[in-house]
Amino acid sequence: MRFLICVIITGVFLLTSSVQAAMTSSHFELRFDSINSGGTDNSTSTNYKLYDTLGEQATGPSTSTNYSLLAGYRQSDDYRPFLSLIVSAQENNTQVPYTALSTSTKTVTVTLATSFATGTFIGVVENLGLHQKTIIGKIESINGLVLTVDKWDGQVDQISTNPQGGDDYVYRMEAFSGVFGRLEANVGKTTLSRTEVGTNSATGYTVYMQSDGYLRGSTTTHIMDVADGEVSMDSEEYGARVYGTLATSTGMDFAVTSTLREIQTSTTTATDDRVAIVYKINIMPYTPASNYLQKVRYLLTANF
Amino acid sequence: MRGSKIRLLSFMALLSLAAAMLPANAGGVVITASVPSNGEIDSAAATGFATTTIAWTSSATYLTGATLQLILSPVPSSTDITQCSPDTTSIGGATATFGSASSSGATWTLTGDAATNVILICVRVPVTNAGSLISARNFSEAIVTTGGTVDYGAAMFYINGGNDVDISATVPASLSFMITDPASITTERHTCNLGVLNMATVSTCTYRLKIMTNATNGFAGSLKANHDFATLGFVTFTNVGDLQVTAGQEEYGINLTTSSYGARDPNTGLFSLPAYAWHPIANDYPVPTTLTGFVSSTYPFYVTSSGATQLVTHKASISPITTVGVYQQKVTYYVSGHF
């Protein structure tokens, strides 16, 4: 009996040490691994067949010195690393007031819903201005004037659910331009953008932002970058601030410069990780008249 | 005999276990988009493809027969990707066969061992129309290697500024001008009375010119008198000719003291630069009857105190033969912004 056990043990080690395939180490192959709940293996209709998986935890590839693991139901040899980054900005001409907001039911009630559609992003801004509160979400459904989003990101814990003061607005966010528009001295203005990241990198990702230079009207004229951590009245300043649970560089308004700045990071896989970026500006009477432009790029790198 | 077999097999098991504990060649690698820079595809060749190159450092030797699989996600076009021409793919000094290209990726198969090195994979991504970029905004190029060393990773590519937000703002033009009391730059003043002249002193009167503009290239100020300093009967006072109005001599002139600050320093944003005086401010000059520049700035100009204004002093002195009378003159100032 002991002989048989030894033969089995030896065989196992010999076999496992010779496995060489994608997503394996030279010792182990784990084709499927999942802590799962719910879902069915497949569902069919006349035209479609769905293989769904629910409730997975800690999915994606993981490696150590000796092991390579692709965790998750239906993770197999055909592992395909991917990255996805989408950015967009608020559309000023879609500004509408909102009358009610719920962070728990993920709804916002607007006064006019014609600018919004399911699947598009919105930004909710309370107390529009340099000290506004901002959240973002993706519309899942529209029922009359009530927009329901998939989730809220940004200043979810700080925004009031009882809008007051006539300066609370909702914007569609599907543009690629952040337009401050016509500025007036000591009337601070903002414009909002957002990110959305997807990746199956089990060790996460990092998003950076970087500008092509100053917010500038010419080679010799630019708006002064914020240097004191806050874009405020009575000074010419321009900067940005990032909000969200995955945001970095938080707690201050920072200059948007040609130096890479990390603004978002995660140490796990992502399907729709988002942060809100609020650009802020204030000018003085002497700020040179001009049309100012700046290109801000967002760069995503994986932590594979 | 049976005990020795058991010991032998136990030794083999331990040996296998030890072998199993040797480091495996598997893991994520950092993939970078080296062409184009930052992975930003802003132009495409007229042939209808954009050249892309990703790079990474292999974690261990890639052995002969190993494959390098390139995967695009999402698939940006239905057209197959192609090998670069000329091909700049570099696989650790080894050669590889390009094959199995599709719209979603391609595979290279090594025909020799590739030492641990920087790997460069170059492919051309199709566009929908020749010379124009595909409509998908962003996609990733991933690598998965097989054949002993399992490296994987991905890099982002951005099409047509798909990762950009263009920030813009408009600051409207402004230009203001006020002639003020010399002691209060918020109080307008449009007279300058030299009073009753005498031979013992030089009589003076002053006012300030408060000029503000956000014109990018500053402003220019000029002045013109309606006529020389004269009585209604056209008895003309003698204009200063020696740059200095002197008591006891019939002389009339103007002194312009330009500000020492108020112009915007483009480097700091502070209004620390002086206005430019067209003449040395220590001298007295006749008041011109033709339009003549006297002050300018090449930067936006802002006034917060009298020191940023232009101080104008009219001066007159008489001699024993100066004709009696009430002398008058209207001086008009013009300011233009250089936007």
Interface contact flag, A25 B165, Cβ < 8 Å: no
CATH assignment at residue B31: 2.60.40
pLDDT, tens digit, for every residue of A239-276?
A: 999 999 999 999 999 999 999 999 999 999 999 999 99
pLDDT, tens digit, for every residue of B245-263?
A: 999 999 999 999 999 999 9
pLDDT > 70: percent of chain A = 74
- Name chain B contacts of A6, Cβ cutoff 8 Å: 6, 9-10, 13
Mean pLDDT is highest, among A119-123, B113-117, B274-278, for: A119-123
Q: Residue B14 domain-assigned?
A: no
One domain, residues B135 and B51:
yes
What single DSSP character describes residue A12?
H
One domain, residues B179 and B300:
yes
Chain B residue nearest residue A26, CA to CA: B24
Any idea which of A68-77, A242-251, B77-86, B239-248 has the lowest mean pLDDT?
A68-77
Residue to mutate among B165, B271, B338, with most A CBs inside 10 A, is B165
- Residue B6: band (very low, low, confident or very high) from pLDDT cuts 50, 70, 90: low
Please check the confidence at residue A32 and state whether its pLDDT lies above 90. no
Interface contact flag, B30 A81, Cβ < 8 Å: no
- Boundary of a domain, candidates B94, B126, B159: B159
One domain, residues B88 and B124:
yes
**Nearest of A9, A8, A27, A29 to residue A18 by alpha carbon:** A27
One domain, residues B263 and B298:
yes
Chain B residue nearest residue A79, CA to CA: B144
- Stretch 131-170 of chain A: residues touching chain B, C-beta under 8 Å: none
Residues B163 and A116: their CA atoms lie apart, in Å, by 23
SS3 B335: strand
One domain, residues B30 and B119:
yes
Q: What is the pTM of this model?
A: 0.78
One domain, residues B78 and B214:
no
One domain, residues B136 and B273:
no
Interface contact flag, B147 A27, Cβ < 8 Å: no
User: For residue A126, what pLDDT is reported?
Assistant: 97
Residue B125 vs residues A64, A268, B80, B134, B162: alpha-carbon distances, Å:
34, 29, 8, 9, 16
- Boundary of a domain, candidates B159, B183, B214: B159
Decide which of A30 and B233 is more confident: B233
Identify which of A2, A193, A289 has the shortest CB distance to residue B214: A289
One domain, residues B143 and B58:
yes
User: For residue B3, what pLDDT is reported?
Assistant: 61
Distance from CA of A277 to the nearest CA of B (A): 11
One domain, residues B333 and B197:
yes
Distance from CA of B150 to the nearest CA of A (A): 6
Please check the confidence at residue B286 and state whether its pLDDT lies above 60. yes
Distance from CA of B279 to the nearest CA of A (A): 26
Domain boundaries, chain A: 19-79, 85-302
Total of domains in chain B: 2
pLDDT (mean) for B42-61: 88
Q: Residue B129 domain-assigned?
A: yes
Q: Which domain holds residue B60?
A: 25-159
One domain, residues B147 and B206:
no
Residues B213 and A79: their CA atoms lie apart, in Å, by 63
Distance from CA of A105 to the nearest CA of B (A): 30
Residue with token string 């001009």: A290
Q: Residue B74 domain-assigned?
A: yes
Q: Residue B200 domain-assigned?
A: yes
Q: What is the mean pLDDT of chain A?
A: 83
Q: Residue B137 domain-assigned?
A: yes
One domain, residues B228 and B92:
no
ipTM confidence score: 0.79
pLDDT (mean) for B30-38: 95
pLDDT (mean) for B46-51: 82
Identify which of B142, B166, B266 has the shortest CB distance to residue A82: B142
Q: Residue B167 domain-assigned?
A: no
Q: Residue B8 domain-assigned?
A: no
User: For residue B12, what pLDDT is reported?
Assistant: 58
One domain, residues B146 and B236:
no
**Nearest of B255, B251, B226 to residue B241 by alpha carbon:** B251
- Boundary of a domain, candidates B112, B135, B159: B159
Q: Residue B313 domain-assigned?
A: yes
pLDDT (mean) for A186-215: 97
